[in-house]
Structure 1
Amino acid sequence: MEKKTKNWTKWIYWFTFAMATIIFYKTVDNIGQITNWLKGLLSILAPFAAGILISYILYIPCKKIENTYKNAKKIKILSKKARALSIFTVYMIVLVLIIILINFIFPPIIQSIIDLANNFGYYYDIAVKNINELPEDSFWKTEVITRIMKEIENIDIKQIINVELLTQYAQGALTAATKVFDIFVAIIVSIYILNSRSQIIGFIKRLAEVTFSDKTYKSLSKYFDRTNEIFFHFLSSQLLDAFVVGILTSVAMSILGIKYAILLGFMIGVFNLIPYVGAIIAVIIAGIITVFTGGIPQAIWMLIIVTILQQIDANIINPKIVGNSLKINPLLVILAITVGGAYFGIIGMFLAVPVIAIIKVIVEDYIDYRKQIKQ
């Protein structure tokens, strides 16, 4: 009997191994079809993922407005329908912001990009003429600058910027009609999640409680709360800081009479989302564009003003808005940004900082745990 059991075990083992080998072979052999299937599945689920992301971004504003409405005891309808009205209020605010962006902010930026692309050759010729008029021992006539100018001459700006597409957008011909359904689904999903968040969070907690041990559940809850706090605080504060920097830079450049002030201010604000390196890259690009469009003296003034604004941001605005809650070494931040940018592009560079902050928290907790064991 024992011998038969061993034989059966042996046959089951080899059968399982053979099936696993066949499945692995078929997977590798049909990797293209599987990849296409996964892409199709992700495409179908994209509106739901977008809805979850939207609800996550709007959760804190909704929560704060809901608490405000609940405390308004004198107005019964506000306290009674606080959640529904808070969701409605937040979406109205978002709608107003989108209308402002589409009607007042994006059009001049798009038009500036089109104008810059169309006149790039003209601005380049002016820049070369201004440089040629400088003394021979000038910094702008060194071999390095000469090489850079030659490289810039070879750039076809119209290939980098799709002028025709931007023109269509500016004229209102570009439409997102094909994505209307996906956007609609994403909004509906986000509203449902925001309205039913107590039930959804409660269900997830109950499921986690019965799935994991008490110790594991407490650890997961702790890291989930900390992760949520780090991500939301970083994202919201960095966006606000970038907006303030963009506005201040655009105003300062407009006062100096710099061409494309709104575009350059917007660009510096966006790049400011990437800590440390973003501001440097943006200032270099803005400086080069200003050399072409306004000459070297104006570019120098632009660099001085932007440097002053960056210092004000680093020492006054950023600490007030962002704070020092992350407390990450600058070298570690630069390393995280480099790795994030290499694998996930601009989004990876932006999200690298909160991710490395979370990893830092976990590693520090592990070190403390190991120290306690040794003691």
Structure 2
Amino acid sequence: MDEPQKQPKRKKRFESNNTYFTICIYAIATFAICLLIFRFTSNWQSTKNQIGQILSVFSPFLLAFLIAYFTNPMVKHIDNFLFQKTLKHRFERGHLLLSMILAYVIAIGAIILVFIFIVPQIINSISQLVRISPTLYQNALDMLYSLDERFPTLDLSFIYQAAEDVMPDLFNFFRTFMSDTVLPFLYNAGLSIISWFINIILAFVISCYLLFSKQKLIKSLKRVAYAIFPEDICLTLFDTLKDCNQIFSQYIIGKTLDSTIIGILCLACMTILKLPYALIISLIVGITNMIPYFGPFIGAVPGILILLIISPKSSLIFAVLILAIQQLDGSVIGPKILGKSTGLQPISIIFAITVGGALAGPLGMFLGVPIVAVLTFLINKLINYILKKKHIEPDLSNTKDSRTSERSSNDPFIDEFEESDPND
């Protein structure tokens, strides 16, 4: 008797497919992200207002994070040099608390000294410059007329015409800028600090908690990371974040210390040489020194122009002084403090300054360098990872491209390109 034939299984109309499901998830996520980007950019003013409201709500926490981030190196140095050897490990929490208190006393004391002694002198110097601006204008014209008397054979009529056309507007702009912008800014900054007093106090309290409980917070974040990602990814992530933090913080702290030393050195030298407006000019020199390459030149120009109108001899002395200080900074102070904290090539630094300045002004010119340094580090790390998966050494020593070792070009630019290390 024949066995009954088995009926073939009917194919389901819809079958589960993990590949298609993953593709759908990615497609939906991509569409949602594009929709959000379009929504935010199409009504940018509303987006800026919403971002501002969010930042205003979280401003104490953001300020607390910044305070803790920039105070942490001082706390660590105080802890290592003063308390580690004396209190040992059994009072670890105690000497950490003492280090925090001492660091905050130093920071708050420095801020109070700045507001008590330096800010009034800056306001006084600016007010004095505004008052004597007509005299400065007349001195500039007298200087031009004296050139005609010393060099009668030169035709300086076009210079006189340009001076008569430009200099009144220039001095009016200077006087208006100082009286209507800088002085109100300093006044409003003082009022803002008073109105922000509660937020500042709250931020200091939160920053104390962040510093004191730093290890617990880091451990909590690590627990979250280990719960989400595999262990090898977590280890790579932690090492990468540690390196990025080291690059960023070393540059910010080192450049701030370097610029502070340059400003104090400029103030001391100008005071010894009895040059006028030493405080405000040194402050400009110190602040602009935070910008690599271009900063020293930007900071020297206002001082040279102000002193040139008051006394050409003082202007010449100041120019020589700035050149000497910058040579000292470039050869001794800068390398000693900063070293090779960024690892960037000069063209990369110029790119960072240019783009950062275009996007965020002077602050972008300063922060552009460490941000580009971090991005360069991450890109190099990604490239090395991809090369490792392809079994290629980072220096390309095991590739078939033997041009760097078997032939040499007569063009030094090509030789330098072929012998360059991709890790640089």
Would you say same fold, with TM above 0.5?
Answer: yes
Task: Give the drift of 1:173.
Answer: 8.2
Q: Distance in 1 between matches of 2:39 and 2:376?
A: 41
Tell me the equivalent position of 2:206. Answer: 189
Tell me, in whole angstroms, the C-alpha distance in 1 between the residues paired with 2:36 and 2:267.
59
Indicate how the Cα distance of structure 1 residues 65 and 152 shifts in structure 2: closer, same or farther if over 3 A, else same: same
Q: How is 1:301-316 mapped onto 2 (pairs within 5 angstroms)?
A: 301-316=317-332
- Please list, as runs of the form range in 1=range in 2, the aligned pairs for 1:224-263 lying within 5 A after superposition: 224-263=241-280
The counterpart of 1:96, out of the listed 99, 102, 109, is: 109
Could you report, residue by residue, the CA deviation over 1:170-211 in whole angstroms, capped at 9, with x for unpaired residues? 8x9856332111111211111111111111010111111222
Query: Are the equivalent residues in 2 in contact too, given 1:250–1:261 (CA < 8 A)?
Result: yes
More deviation, 22-31/90-99: 22-31
**C-alpha distance 88-142 of structure 1, shift in aligned 2 (>3 A):** farther
Deviations 1:115-151 (A, max 9, x none): 1122222112102201220134899959689747843
Contact 1:336–1:349 under 8 Å retained in 2 = yes
Could you say what secondary structure the match of 1:185 adopts? helix
Partner of 1:66: 79
Structure 2: distance between partners of 1:318 and 1:74? 35
Report if the CA contact (8 A) 1:114-1:167 is conserved. Answer: no
Map of 1:334 onto structure 2: 350
Aligned to 1:109: 122
For the structure 1 residues 241 and 82, does the alpha-carbon distance in structure 2 shift closer, same or farther, using more than 3 Å as the test? same
8 A Cα contact 1:117 1:163, kept in partner: no
Matched to 2:103, the amino acid is: V
Q: 1:200 to 1:140 in 2, by over 3 A?
A: farther
2:340 matches 1:324: yes
| 2: CA distance, partners of 1:331 / 1:71 | 45
1:30 CA displacement: 7.0
Q: TM-score, normalised by structure 1?
A: 0.84
Looking at secondary structure, tell me which structure has more helix per residue: 1
| SS at structure 2 position matched to 1:176 | helix
**Partner AA of 2:298 in structure 1:** I
Query: Residue 237 of structure 1: CA displacement?
Result: 1.2
What TM-score does the superposition give when structure 2 sets the normalisation length? 0.75
User: 2:169 is matched with which residue: 129, 138, 154?
Assistant: 154
Deviations 1:243-291 (A, max 9, x none): 1111111222223332211111111011001010000111122111111
What's the CA shift for 1:326? 2.3
Distance in structure 2 (CA, Å) of the matches to 1:130 and 1:111: 27
RMSD: 3.6
1:354-365 alignment to 2 at 5 Å? 354-365=370-381
Could you say if the C-alpha distance between residues 144 and 336 of structure 1 is closer, same or farther in structure 2, counting changes exceeding 3 Å? farther
Using CA pairs below 8 Å that are at least 6 residues apart, which structure has the higher relative contact order?
1
Counterpart Cα distance in 2 of 1:25 and 1:360: 29
Describe the superposition over 1:28-77 as per-residue Cα deviations: whole angstroms up to 9, x where unpaired: 8876555433321211111110101100111122123234424313898x
Q: 1:30 to 1:356 in 2, by over 3 A?
A: closer
Amino acid in structure 2 at the alignment position of 1:230: I
| Partner Cα separation in structure 2 for residue 89 and residue 140 of structure 1 | 65
Query: For the residues of structure 1 that align with 2:71 and 2:99, how far apart are their CA atoms?
Result: 10
* Residue aligned with 2:381, SS: helix
How far apart, in 1, do the equivalents of 2:342 and 2:88 lie? 40
Once residues 151 and 321 of structure 1 are traced to their aligned partners in structure 2, the CA distance between those partners, rounded to angstroms, is 43
> Identity rate of aligned residues, in percent?
26
State how far apart, in whole Å, the 1-side matches of 2:59 and 2:215 are. 24
Give the Cα–Cα distance (whole angstroms) in 1 for the partners of residues 248 and 327 of structure 2. 25
2:287 counterpart residue number: 270
Q: Does 1:291 align with 2:304?
A: no
Alignment-mate amino acid for residue 54 of structure 1: I
User: Partner of 2:417 in structure 1?
Assistant: none
How many correspondences in the alignment?
Answer: 366
Unaligned segments of structure 1, at least 5 residues: none
**For 1:86, which of 89, 94, 99 is the aligned residue?**
99
Paired with 1:188 and 1:138, the residues of 2 have a C-alpha distance of: 71
Q: 1:24 to 1:102 in 2, by over 3 A?
A: closer
Q: Once the 2 structures are TM-superposed, how far is the Cα of residue 308 of structure 1 from its aligned partner?
A: 1.0
> 1:339 Cα deviation (Å)?
0.3
Q: Which residue of 1 aligns with 2:406?
A: none
Match of 1:124 in 2: 137
State the Cα distance separating 1:366 from its structure 2 match.
3.3
In 2, Cα distance between equivalents of 1:140 and 1:72: 76
